[in-house]
A and B are shown apart, each in its own frame.
Chain A
Amino acid sequence: MSVYTPIFAMFLVAFAIGLGFLAVATFLGPKRLSKEKLDPFDCGNPPLGTPRVPVSIKYYVVAILFILFDVEVVYLYVWAIIFKDLGLFGFVEMLVFILIVVGGLAYVWRKGALEWK
């Protein structure tokens, strides 16, 4: 039995639980729908325009920063596990890497990408 068989079984169980909940949510309970009930909630008013409006560019910047920093984290995982075997050499090498990351952080900080006004 591969070590991933239990993981697969766990996925199946989680799927079954989730689908079970979805099924009872959909098929049990009353269904008395009306136009007013199906209106998107807009604090009691008829909804104005489409809700799929352009959003603040800030969220986009955060998403890009996340990709950049999270990819760097992945490199660090590999290094962290064999850190004790690498000794001083590995430490200095990774110090250079972390300093470049810190440099990037300082840059976006100076540029104001982290400000929410």
Chain B
Amino acid sequence: MAEALILAVKIAIATMFVLNLAGLLTWAERRQSAFIQDRLGPNRASVFGIRLIGLLHPVADGIKMIMKEDFIPAGADRVVHTIAPFIALFPAFVAYAVIPFGDRLPIFGYDVNLVVSDINIGLLFVVAVMSIAIFGIFLGGWASNNKWSLLGALRSAAQMISYEVTLGLTIIGILMVYESVRLDEIVRAQGDLLFGFIPKWGIVTQPIGFLLFFAAAMAESKRTPFDLPEGESEIVAGYFLEYSGMKFGMFFMGEFAEIVVIAGIIASLFLGGWQIPWVTTEMLLKAFPGWLVALIQIGVFSAKVVALCWLQLTIRWTLPRFRYDQLMRLGWKMLLPISLANIFVTGLVILLLQ
């Protein structure tokens, strides 16, 4: 009974984390882009005259999208058109099932592992689940019975599978260093110290891998500079052109939820997840009660995730869009060879250090 309750709380936290952060990011992105372009951005939505610097905009947007007319264009595949946004949205939530929010802690007498499920193939599970989103986008574009949508769907499929190879190869470097596919073990191993004083974070042991992973993950999320599937100036809006109302909102939210997932994975693999540099869980447990340690670790993890989300938004508003041949050249001719070389160099260094 207690076990089921703990599980319910953990699932609620993970789901709320993704939902709320994705909602907040829709606001943060517009606000940040406004600041970058020397504007004020959305700050008008108000309840009883309270504006909260525009924080109510995501709520207003949600209500607006729910109340919009929903249509399925003539000639479209009605079933596929309807389930496509669903397929695009739900992987982001499931991926957070294996991302650890904190260490295994004694909270109120229970031994709680702060991850929804510590399955032994954690990292592979994340990669597998994330690639499901491709289906949603491709099916949505194909089912719309529209040329622009089909072009957008094709572009997104080719782009996402191209960068997925790099994504997979970069993870191998991490696996070689930490010798586990379990995300909780990888994060725990990052608490060690390298040469006695450097935290053994992924970004220290795999600096090239971090850059490769970040670039490939940005391409997976289909945002500028990799937003060719949308390309509003060439193919109007790409795969979600024939969507309206909340179905469009689901693609939109899926994109932002994916930013949160990417930030969570990068934080876990390369930035030590919930680890605080030079402070171990044992030290924290000596000083504070278990529930406070849990809050601290969740806070540290959230801070890293938010920082990485901010970085992705900044990149999105700083760089222009690639041309398609440039995109493919970057993926296949630069990132892929570098990631292969990264595996080789990582192996060599590990052998030499042994």
Question: Given A63-B161, A70-B165, A83-B176, do A13 and B333 touch, yes or no (CB 8 Å)?
Answer: no
Residues in B whose Cβ lies below 8 Å from that of A82: 179
Known A25-B249, A69-B165; contact A4-B90, beta-carbon cutoff 8 A: no
Q: Is B304 an interface residue (CB 8 A)?
A: no
Of B70, B89, B158, B168, which one neighbours A70 at CB under 8 angstroms? B168
Q: Is the CB of A81 within 8 A of B68?
A: no
Q: Which of B7, B119, B120, B249 contacts A9 (CB 8 A)?
A: B7
**Among B71-79, B194-202, B267-275, B283-291, the stretch in contact with A:** B71-79
Q: CA A35 – CA B271 in complex, angstroms?
A: 54
Cβ contact of A41, chosen from B90, B146, B325, B354, cutoff 8 A: B146
The CA of A105 and the CA of B341, in the complex, are separated in Å by 13
Chain A residues positioned under 8 Å from B242 (CB to CB)? 40-41
Q: Count of chain A residues with Cβ under 8 Å from any Cβ of B?
A: 71
Residue of B nearest to A91 (CB): B347
Chain B residues near A43 (CB-CB < 8 A): 236
Q: Does B223 make an interface contact (CB < 8 A)?
A: no
- Among A42, A74, A81, A83, chain B packs the most CB atoms within 10 A around the CB of A83
In the bound assembly, the distance between CA atoms of A41 and B148 in angstroms comes to 8
Find chain B residues with CB under 8 A from A29 CB.
Answer: 66-70, 245
Whether B351 pairs with A87 at a CB distance below 8 angstroms is: yes
Interface 1/0 per residue, B125-167 and A, CB below 8 Å = 1000000000000000000111111100010011001101100
By the criterion CB–CB under 8 Å, are B93 and A13 in contact?
Answer: yes
Contact A14 B351 (CB under 8 A): no
Q: Closest chain A residue to B339 by CB distance?
A: A73
CA distance A19 to B250 in the complex (A): 11
In this complex, how many residues of chain B approach chain A with their Cβ under 8 Å: the count is 87
Given contacts A6-B10, A26-B70, A30-B69, contact A63 B158 (CB under 8 A): yes
- Report B16 CB to chain A, min CB distance, Å: 11
| A39-B74, A73-B168, A94-B347 known; A80-B176 Cβ under 8 A | yes
Q: Once the chains bind, are A6 and B117 in contact (CB under 8 Å)? A: yes
**A21-B246 CB under 8 A given contacts A7-B97, A14-B93, A63-B158:** yes
Q: Does A52 contact B (CB under 8 A)?
A: yes
Nearest chain-A residue to B15 (Cβ)? A13
B88-129 near A? 1/0 per residue, CB < 8 Å? 011101101110000000000000000011111000110000
Give the interface SS of chain B, mostly helix, strand, loop or mixed.
helix
Total contacts A to B, CB within 8 angstroms?
218
Q: Does B282 count as interface, using CB distance less than 8 angstroms?
A: no
A59 touches B154 (CB 8 A): yes
B340 pairs with A22, CB closer than 8 A: no
List of A residues within 8 angstroms of B188 by Cβ: none
Q: Which residues of B contact A69 (CB under 8 A)?
A: 165, 336
A51 near B93: Cβ-Cβ < 8 Å: no
Cα distance A34–B124 when bound, in Å?
A: 47
Could you tell me the distance between the alpha carbons of A91 and B83 in the complex, rounded to whole angstroms? 46
Please name all residues of chain B whose beta carbon is closer than 8 Å to the beta carbon of A115 when the two chains form the complex.
Answer: 325
Q: Which of B68, B83, B154, B324 contacts A55 (CB 8 A)?
A: B154
B324 touches A66 (CB 8 A): no
The contact of B179 among A13, A15, A81, A98, by CB within 8 Å, is A81
**Across-interface contacts of A14 in B (CB, < 8 A):** 15, 90-91, 93-94
Do A84 and B117 touch (CB < 8 A)?
Answer: no
Do residues A76 and B336 form an inter-chain contact, with CB atoms below 8 A?
Answer: no
- A7 CA / B278 CA spacing, docked (Å): 32
Smallest CB separation, A52 vs chain B (Å): 7
- Asked if B165 and A59 make an inter-chain contact with CB atoms under 8 angstroms apart, the answer reads no
A residues within 8 A CB of B19?
17
Q: A66-B162, A98-B344 are in contact. List 13 more A-B contacts (CB 8 A).
A: A3-B119, A10-B11, A10-B96, A22-B250, A25-B246, A32-B69, A33-B69, A51-B147, A62-B158, A62-B328, A69-B165, A76-B169, A116-B325
Question: Can you list 9 A-B pairs, Cβ within 8 angstroms, ordered by A?
Answer: A17-B93, A21-B250, A26-B82, A29-B68, A42-B147, A51-B150, A83-B350, A114-B328, A116-B324
Hey, which bits of chain A sit against chain B, CB under 8 A? 1, 3-7, 9-11, 13-15, 17-19, 21-22, 24-26, 28-33, 35, 37-43, 47, 51-53, 55-56, 58-59, 62-63, 65-66, 69-70, 73-74, 76-77, 80-84, 87-88, 91, 94-95, 98, 101-102, 105, 109, 114-117
